[in-house]
């Protein structure tokens, strides 16, 4: 664990002391090295479940896939930001990369935390670099509104969690994940316990986001620059899922009655946000709403507390992280050329940029959960376990799958196929950097087809 | 303005062709000519921008910008009418209660069967 944490912290002085010609190259090279070191976490030799244990941070099969995803994403974010940051003064470029690295440090500490208060502090700490990235480097005036929505929705959801954790510490004496899983069941019979349960869950449900509290997500994703969108879609949403999976272990048996409204909101959200995707004019907004849709499935999978539900949720989180981040990178290639996110302006791109069309095709297919990609495995496990929980959920999940397929195809056909708009012809060709970015997104996804046990957590 | 002729990129509209419409007043004709002149000017501006060899960005269309902004910001113009309230209730409120009722009754039935031991599990999810 420290093997990855110390180099990441040391990246900060590296960025500030590198000469300006080598800034992006050294940032990229060192973050790739860190990402490759982080792959060593993927072997789980310990029978107890927890590996790389020290007093404060440890990894287990639940947090390891998310940690590796976080470390993998940093070089991808640096690669994606290189173009639009090129015109800024050198110190602002350094600040931008430092914000990305500090986000990385907080995320590693959050996913590796063994103590719930440390997880909470890191959960909140990730908000600040993300807020600065969105409000300072976003491209439209709406970015201020987006930053406010993002910050206050997440804060308002997570302050009850602080109170709930302190109450838990008072009553049980320890908040370490290693020991809470071994507690005797908590005595949760009063009315106040229901509020305590809601306090524990609300922060993560807002972060995931759940359908009723999802308003911050389209704003934040659309207004953020590309690295902000990538880290938001790929990792920050998964913080909510990870927190829910950790804390739901001690919330039994209240969860069986109290989770119904949230399961229903999550499933109805899959259908509703999928339908909204079909009406979107803004490309990034479409991808953001598709994130809400997939995360609704994840939330429902976690709330029913079955082994397949947890496994499916974790696999879908990892696969969706890679797919969504790649789709935002593709939308960014459009944006860098036309400086507009309107889908109607950039149609028929297959004629103009045919190699990029291949990437669009592959990631559209990943988004609609094509077999044998892990997206399908995650979705299928969640849908099956939901069906086992109650046969009627199939109405919502089946409709959700249909709608996901239709908006993914709508996105692909509008941007790639059809007549090319005549003003489009004067755009620059695809850079090798962009092809490399897409390859690095697709490679883990393809490799995970062959060994999904790496990302399916401790439930199976 | 009376002899407005057709140009290569701006065709003469039917209302200005003297052979087609012979019962229109001269004021109407003049208004039509003014409108045709504005349209032809817009077409000329678009063609100049489109065929500019040094152009690197998209041709700016203010109507498209307005339309995209309107599609993205309906909230200040929202009014609670009978139709919008009905839509909100049908898609936002009623399904939540409906599905709560459906899932709760189904799950309670299943839990009773599990407690009584009568649930037939034909397929095992995990072995």
pLDDT value at position B126? 62
Mean pLDDT of A253-266: 91
Average pLDDT score over chain A: 92
Are the CB atoms for A14 and A27 separated by under 8 Å? yes
DSSP codes, B52-105: -TT--SPPP-HHHHHHHHHHH--GGG----HHHHHHHIIIIIHHHHHHHHHHHH
Q: Is residue A79 part of a domain?
A: no
Confidence label for A240 from pLDDT (cuts 50, 70 and 90):
very high
Q: Among candidates A382, A33, A438, which has minimal Cα distance to A241?
A: A382
Backbone angles phi, psi at B83, to 5 degrees: -70, -45
Residues 6+ apart with CB under 8 A from B101: none
Q: How many domains does chain A have?
A: 1
Give me A145's structure tokens.
């509104």
Q: Is residue A280 part of a domain?
A: yes
Q: Is residue A114 part of a domain?
A: no
Would residue B124 be called left, alpha or beta, if left means φ above 0 and alpha means ψ between -120 and 50 degrees? beta
Residues in chain B whose Cβ is within 8 Å of chain A: 50, 55-59, 64, 67-68, 71-72, 91, 95-96, 99-100, 102-104, 106-107, 110, 125-126
Residues 6+ apart with CB under 8 A from A316: A294, A297, A298, A301, A374, A375, A378, A379, A382
For the segment A383-442, what is each residue's pLDDT rounded down to a tens digit?
A: 999 999 999 999 999 999 999 999 999 999 999 998 888 777 678 889 999 999 999 999
pLDDT value at position A186? 83
Q: Which domain holds residue A451?
A: 260-459
Would residue A346 be called left, alpha or beta, if left means φ above 0 and alpha means ψ between -120 and 50 degrees? beta
Per CB-CB distance under 8 Å, the chain A contacts of B125 are 306, 308, 384-385, 388
Our measurement of the distance from residue A389's CA atom to the centroid of its chain's CA atoms, rounded to an integer in Å, reads 26
Are the CB atoms for A124 and A158 separated by under 8 Å? yes
Confidence label for A37 from pLDDT (cuts 50, 70 and 90):
very high
Q: Is residue A416 part of a domain?
A: yes
Mapping DSSP to helix (H, G, I), strand (E, B) and coil, where does residue A262 land? Answer: helix
Q: Among candidates A267, A326, A333, which has minimal Cα distance to A300?
A: A267
Taking the CA of residue B60 and the nearest CA in chain A, the distance in Å comes to: 10
- For A379-412, b/e burial (b = at least 16 CB within 10 A) is bbbbbbbbebbbebbeebbeebbebbbebbebbb
Q: Among candidates A285, A298, A87, A142, which has minimal Cα distance to A210?
A: A298
Nearest 10 degrees: Cα torsion A284, A285, A286, A292: 110
* Measured distance CA(A137)–CA(A225) in Å, rounded: 6
Q: Pick from B43, B54, B63, B68 the residue to mutate for testing the A interface (most A CBs within 10 Å).
A: B68
Average pLDDT score over chain B: 84
pLDDT value at position A367? 95
Give me A366's structure tokens.
């990943």
pLDDT value at position A47? 59
Q: Is residue A419 part of a domain?
A: yes
Are the CB atoms for A151 and A219 separated by under 8 Å? no
Range scoring the smallest mean pLDDT among A5-9, A341-345, A423-427: A423-427
Residues forming a β-bridge with B10: B7
> pTM for the whole thing?
0.92
Q: Is residue A403 part of a domain?
A: yes
Q: Is residue A355 part of a domain?
A: yes
- For A345-378, b/e burial (b = at least 16 CB within 10 A) is bbbbbbebbeebbebbebbbbbbbbeeebbbbbb
In angstroms, the Cα distances linking B3 to A65, B33, B99 are 76, 9, 70
* Measured distance CA(A208)–CA(A240) in Å, rounded: 5
pLDDT above 70 for A178:
yes
Per CB-CB distance under 8 Å, the chain B contacts of A426 are 55-56
pLDDT value at position A423? 76
Confidence label for B127 from pLDDT (cuts 50, 70 and 90):
low
Give me A433's structure tokens.
């950097």
* Measured distance CA(A285)–CA(A328) in Å, rounded: 10
Give me A126's structure tokens.
């990730």
Are the CB atoms for B108 and A260 separated by under 8 Å? no
Are the CB atoms for A130 and A236 separated by under 8 Å? yes
Q: Among candidates A347, A339, A336, A341, which has minimal Cα distance to A422?
A: A347
Backbone angles phi, psi at A113, to 5 degrees: -65, 140
For chain A, counts of helices (H) and of strands (E): 21, 0
3-state secondary structure A359-397: HHHHHHHHHCCCCCCHHHHHHHHHHHHHHHHCCCHHHHH
* Measured distance CA(A363)–CA(A118) in Å, rounded: 35
Per CB-CB distance under 8 Å, the chain A contacts of B64 are 342, 344-345
The answer to whether the CB atoms of A388 and B125 lie below 8 A apart is: yes
Out of B67, B96, B126, closest to residue A264 by CB: B96
Residues in chain A whose Cβ is within 8 Å of chain B: 260-261, 263-265, 267-268, 272, 281-282, 285, 306-308, 338-340, 342, 344-345, 384-385, 388-393, 396, 422-424, 426, 460
For the segment A49-93, what is each residue's pLDDT rounded down to a tens digit?
A: 787 778 888 888 899 999 999 999 999 999 999 999 999 999 999
Largest CA distance in chain A: 68
- In A159-296, beta strands by DSSP E: none
Per CB-CB distance under 8 Å, the chain A contacts of B96 are 261, 264-265, 268
Are the CB atoms for A287 and A192 separated by under 8 Å? no
Give me A165's structure tokens.
């954790």
pLDDT value at position A50? 80
Radius of gyration of chain B from Cα atoms?
Answer: 33
Q: Is residue A338 part of a domain?
A: yes
* Measured distance CA(A207)–CA(A158) in Å, rounded: 9
For the segment A272-331, what is each residue's pLDDT rounded down to a tens digit?
A: 999 999 999 999 999 999 999 999 999 999 999 999 999 999 999 999 999 999 999 999
Mean pLDDT of A160-178: 90
> Whose structure tokens read 């009063």?
A190
């Amino acid at each position: 664990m420290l093997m990855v944490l110390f180099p990441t912290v040391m990246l900060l002085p590296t960025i500030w002391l590198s000469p300006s010609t080598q800034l992006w190259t050294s940032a990229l090279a060192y973050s790739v090295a860190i990402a490759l070191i982080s792959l060593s976490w993927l072997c789980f030799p310990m029978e107890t479940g927890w590996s790389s244990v020290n007093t404060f941070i440890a990894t287990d099969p639940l947090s390891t896939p998310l940690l590796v995803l976080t470390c993998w994403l940093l070089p991808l974010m640096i690669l994606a930001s290189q173009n639009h940051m090129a015109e800024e003064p050198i110190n602002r470029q350094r600040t931008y990369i430092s914000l990305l690295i500090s986000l990385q440090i907080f995320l590693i500490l959050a996913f590796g935390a063994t103590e719930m208060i440390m997880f909470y502090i890191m959960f909140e700490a990730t908000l600040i670099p993300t807020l600065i990235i969105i409000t300072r480097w976003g491209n439209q005036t709406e970015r201020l509104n987006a930053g406010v929505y993002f910050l206050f929705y997440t804060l308002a959801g997570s302050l009850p969690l602080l109170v709930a954790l302190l109450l838990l510490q008072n009553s049980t004496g320890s908040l370490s994940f290693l020991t809470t899983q071994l507690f005797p069941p908590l005595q949760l019979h009063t009315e106040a316990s229901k509020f305590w349960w809601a306090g524990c869950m609300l922060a993560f449900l807002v972060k995931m986001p759940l359908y009723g509290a999802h308003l911050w997500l389209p704003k934040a994703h659309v207004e953020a620059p590309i690295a902000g969108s990538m880290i938001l879609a790929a990792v920050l949403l998964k913080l909510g899922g990870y927190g829910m999976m950790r804390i739901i272990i001690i919330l039994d048996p209240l969860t069986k009655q109290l989770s119904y409204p949230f399961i229903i909101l999550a499933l109805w959200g899959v259908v509703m946000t999928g339908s909204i995707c079909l009406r979107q004019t803004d490309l990034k907004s479409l991808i953001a709403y598709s994130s809400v849709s997939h995360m609704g499935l994840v939330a429902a999978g976690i709330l029913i507390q079955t082994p397949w539900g947890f496994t499916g949720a974790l696999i879908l989180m990892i696969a969706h992280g890679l797919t969504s981040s790649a789709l935002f990178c593709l939308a960014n290639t459009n944006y860098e050329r036309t400086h507009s996110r309107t889908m109607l302006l950039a149609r028929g791109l297959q004629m103009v940029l045919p190699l990029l069309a291949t990437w669009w095709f592959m990631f559209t297919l990943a988004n609609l959960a094509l077999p044998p990609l892990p997206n399908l495995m995650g979705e299928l496990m969640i849908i099956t376990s939901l069906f086992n929980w109650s046969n009627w959920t199939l109405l919502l999940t089946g409709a959700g799958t249909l709608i996901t397929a239709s908006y993914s195809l709508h996105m692909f056909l509008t941007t790639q196929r059809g007549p090319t708009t005549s003003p489009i012809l004067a755009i620059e060709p695809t850079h090798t950097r962009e092809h490399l970015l897409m390859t690095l997104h697709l490679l883990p996804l393809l490799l995970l087809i062959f060994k999904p046990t790496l990302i399916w957590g401790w439930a199976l | 303005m009376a002899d407005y002729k057709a140009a290569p990129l701006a065709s003469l509209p039917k209302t200005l062709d003297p052979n087609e419409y012979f019962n229109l007043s001269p004021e109407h004709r003049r208004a039509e000519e003014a409108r045709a002149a504005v349209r032809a000017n817009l077409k000329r501006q678009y063609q100049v921008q489109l065929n500019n060899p040094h152009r690197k960005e998209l041709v700016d269309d203010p109507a498209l910008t307005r339309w995209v902004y309107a599609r993205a910001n309906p909230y200040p113009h929202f009014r609670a009418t009978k139709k919008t309230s009905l839509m909100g209730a049908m898609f936002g409120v009623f399904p939540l209660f409906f599905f709560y009722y459906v899932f709760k009754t189904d799950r309670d039935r299943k839990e009773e069967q599990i407690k009584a031991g009568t649930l037939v599990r034909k397929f095992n999810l995990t072995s």
